[in-house]
Amino acid sequence: MRVALLFGGRSGEHEVSVMSARSVFGALLEGGFDVVCVGITREGHWVFVEAPAAFFEQESVERGCGEVTVDLGPSCYILPDPLRPGIWANGTEVYESVCAQPHDPVHVPEGISAHAPAEAPVCEPAPDQAYQPDRVLECKPAQESPCDAEAGSRALPEDARNPRVAGVRIDIDVVFPVLHGTFGEDGTVQGLLELSGIPYVGSGTLASAICMDKDTTKIVLSKRGIPIVPAITVERWKWQSQRDEVLEEIYARIDFPVFVKPSASGSSLGVSKVKDGSGLPAAIDNAFLYDLKVLVEPAQEGALEIECSVLGNEKPEASIPGQIVPSREFYDYEAKYLDRSTRLVVPAPLEDSLADKVRAAAIDAFRAAGCSGLARVDFFVYPDTGELYVNELNTLPGFTEVSMYPKLWEASGLPYSRLVARLVELALERKRTSHRHVKRVDA
């Protein structure tokens, strides 16, 4: 089975994604999978990584400073077309437009099959057979006519039949996106993969978008009766035009200290702890560098920061909970990925009954948001009273071998390599069970 590992991306969590992908790459190889790697640069350019092992062995990647660049390989893309599946590498356009200068031939790693026919293939379903996601499409040469309007097929022009121009298609079975933050964890890439018809690891478009936006997450969970941390939502247009009124409302409704955070950002980017009103305007300005909405939340003084990993589709399971003990004032980006003194306490120091309550709440939140595959659910828990509040859900959490999500499963009896293999299985399961059949309405 061939897995396409997708990493990098346009978000501020680019380096974190590369670190996670390095660990996942090793686990997939250990599990016997064929692996091809697609990196996305900070600018959003998709690159077919020709020598992934060498890339991941670089010292910069080990230090958490790895970056996807265009010199790692040829351009590539996934089409939003289930009849033209796979990764198209080193091509220009798959339809009529052809660039004037052909690219150099793409280097496909040894053992990886690729299609580069003399006549560009048009993949079509067998006659009178409805599209099925698990069926292998039949490939046949394009017809001479560039467009058969009656049949609805579309052929490539003669120039595109040069594989150096049209590129090669690399067959894949599953996409494993290891993308954190915007343009990767927020439903955008998931929407592309839904259109492509290729199974992929993780939640679908809607759940990914809901969980990426903390304001929307709170609305959804509260409707299901799941306790959340209350927040005041500030929109950028209102902050720019009515700053004094916004500040007055916040001062009247909330006690300090507070946390100010972007609504849709990850890895604590743009998050500030504000101890009094004098620091609030600057913290809000900083958060607006990352998103169009900002949340102001009361700090949960005295609570334990607890995380729980959830795995599954229709019947999700929860790991044992773990506790975050940051060496800094709060669990910011540096504490998560750079500060070695941050402690992860597994299992969390909770009574069994409270730990079970956390696990049940994690599964409830997972289901309420419509998640699938995996998610990490973060809580604030008060051991003395038994109160707990969901802080957020992460549908593509950090996935290095020392990240909390895999460490919780390892402590629950599921080692890293088996966890990665299970996620691939869940991706295929979700594709089989959630395919939406479209019934044609005759005119």
Q: Which domains does the chain have, with CATH numbers?
A: 2-200 (3.40.50.20), 208-227+302-434 (3.30.470.20), 232-298 (3.30.1490.20)
Helix (H) or strand (E) holding 387: strand 387-394
| Average pLDDT, integer, range 184-205 | 96
What is the band of 340 on the pLDDT scale with cuts at 50, 70, 90? low
Peptide bond between residue 105 and the one before it cis (omega within 30 degrees of 0): no
Higher pLDDT, 132 or 4: 4
Measure the CA–CA gap between 114 and 118, rounded to whole angstroms. Answer: 13
> What is the gyration radius of the CA atoms in the chain, in angstroms?
24
pLDDT score of 22: 95
pLDDT score of 330: 55
pTM of the model: 0.81
Check: CB of residue 282 under 8 Å from CB of residue 399.
no
CA-closest candidate to residue 231, choices 299, 297, 293 = 297
- Token digits for 131? 């599209």
| Average pLDDT, integer, range 72-95 | 80
Q: Assign 52 to helix, strand or coil.
A: helix
Q: Is the dihedral of CA 274, 278, 279, 281 positive or negative?
A: positive
CA-closest candidate to residue 268, choices 243, 286, 292, 247 = 286
In this predicted structure, the answer to whether residue 142 has a pLDDT above a threshold of 80 is no
In this predicted structure, the answer to whether residue 49 has a pLDDT above a threshold of 50 is yes
**Amino acid identity for residue 335 in this structure:** A
CA distances from 279 to 107, 251, 274 (A): 54, 12, 6
pLDDT score of 326: 80
Check: CB of residue 221 under 8 Å from CB of residue 379.
no
Question: What are the pLDDT digits (tens) for 112-123?
Answer: 655 543 333 333
Q: What percent of the chain has pLDDT over 90?
A: 68
| Average pLDDT, integer, range 73-86 | 92
Within 242-392, where are the H helices? 243-253, 280-287, 333-337, 352-368
Measure the CA–CA gap between 248 and 232, rounded to whole angstroms. Answer: 12
CA-closest candidate to residue 427, choices 126, 200, 260 = 200
